[in-house]
Amino acid sequence: MRVAVVGAGAMGCLYGGHLAEAGVDVSLVDVWREHVDAINAKGLHITGVSGDRVVRVPATNNPETVGEVDLVLLFVKSYDTAQAVKGSRPLIGGDTKVLTLQNGLGNLEAITETVGAGRVLGGTTSHGSTLVGPREIRHAGEGPTLIGALEISSRSTAEKVADTFNGAGLRTRISDDVRGDIWGKVLVNLGINALTALTGLRNGQLLEVPELRRLMRIAVEEGVRVAEEDGVDLGSLDHVAHVYDVAEATGANHSSMLQDVDRGRRTEIDALNGEVVGLGEKLGVETPVNRALTALVKGLEHRSSL
Ligand code: KPL
């Protein structure tokens, strides 16, 4: 299987690095030239829970040099999804599938608009990873990957991708309800990301402050009400208990939103709490905590832009 990882940040490098180590033909595609040059010159340096090593994996700024692949694995930030899929055209041939494991709502729709639902695979990842600097990532926590197809015709490809990931040490299961599973991950992000970005705390430290635990719970409960009103099947999981469990399991991690704020970069607030607020408005569901979190993170983004 030929794979191109588009968006070689913390998560893209984690997946690309694991696949390369397992002998999969994988290329990293990213716009950050210094990072790409450093990976090509010295290899990708991975530290953390899966061990300290340097992985040789080709990287490029130009997808044309990679050509058509079997799988485009999209790991750009959610606000860049539409643009990245359009820019990935040289990678996409007759049988290519595009897999998103990104955070947030709206990625499936943005990809489908360009390539059609038959080519789209979606899912979630529970790994934690931090981009330390050019060519350096820290694998902060391990967890399952879920992959599913939007259309039944792509299910066998989803299974092949899951086999490839499992062979590379990325524990992966098939999802029979991609949208429901993505919502499940969004609920986790609602409870953790904005609060860590605003406080500077690691995921696990949120649990040590009763007032923050309460906000985590309310942010998740609001999200559950919006999802249910939108007809999403969230299964029987207790999503509030689950967000506390994930915060504990990824306790040492700096959430992706905290990493963005620390680097003065735009966050994914619009695709997370912001989407829930917007959808809640349409469906008549009040979301005051998510509204406040969205506004406060927007304030942080504004401060960085001054
Ligand atoms: O997905 C994450 C993120 O940081 O975006 C969690 C699960 C919160 C792990 O850090």
Residues of the chain with pLDDT > 90, as a percent, come to 95
Nearest CA to ligand 1 atom 10: 255
Q: Tell me: the pLDDT tens digits for 264-305? A: 999 999 999 999 999 999 999 999 999 999 999 999 999 988
Nearest CA to ligand 1 atom 6: 255
Ligand 1 near 81 CB (within 6 A): no
Q: Tell me: the pLDDT tens digits for 109-135? A: 999 999 999 999 999 999 989 999 999
Q: Over range 13-25, report the average pLDDT.
A: 98
* Position in ligand 1 atom list of the atom nearest CA 246: 7
Q: In whole angstroms, what separates CA 107 from the centre of its chain?
A: 10
Tell whether the model's pLDDT for residue 200 goes beyond 90.
Answer: yes
* Position in ligand 1 atom list of the atom nearest CA 256: 4
Q: Which residue, chain included where needed, has tokens 């401060």?
A: 303
Please tell me the CATH code under which domain 180-305 is placed. Answer: 1.10.1040.10
- Residue 122: what pLDDT? 98
Q: Is 185 a catalytic residue?
A: yes
Q: Over range 44-67, report the average pLDDT.
A: 97
Residue 94 CA to ligand 1 center (angstroms) comes to 34
Q: What is the CATH superfamily name and number for domain 2-176?
A: NAD(P)-binding Rossmann-like Domain (3.40.50.720)
Ligand 1 near 154 CB (within 6 A): no
Count CB neighbours of 93 within 10 A.
12
Q: What share of the chain is helix, strand, coil (3-state, %, to 5)?
A: 55, 20, 25
CA distance 6 to 81: 10
pTM higher than the cut 0.85: yes
Tell whether the model's pLDDT for residue 164 goes beyond 90.
Answer: yes
Ligand 1 near 103 CB (within 6 A): yes
Domain spans of the chain, in order of start: 2-176, 180-305
Contact by Cβ (8 Å): 26, 4: yes
- Residue 281: what pLDDT? 98
Q: Could you say which DSSP state residue 238 is in? A: -
- Residue 306: what pLDDT? 83
Tell whether the model's pLDDT for residue 58 goes beyond 90.
Answer: yes
Say which of 42, 97, 185, 298 is annotated catalytic: 185
Q: In whole numbers, what is the pLDDT of the chain averaged over residues? A: 96
- Residue 186: what pLDDT? 98
- Residue 250: what pLDDT? 87
Pairing of strands 59-60, 69-74: unpaired
- Residue 258: what pLDDT? 96
Rounded to 10 deg, the angle between the 273-283 and 210-229 helix axes is: 50
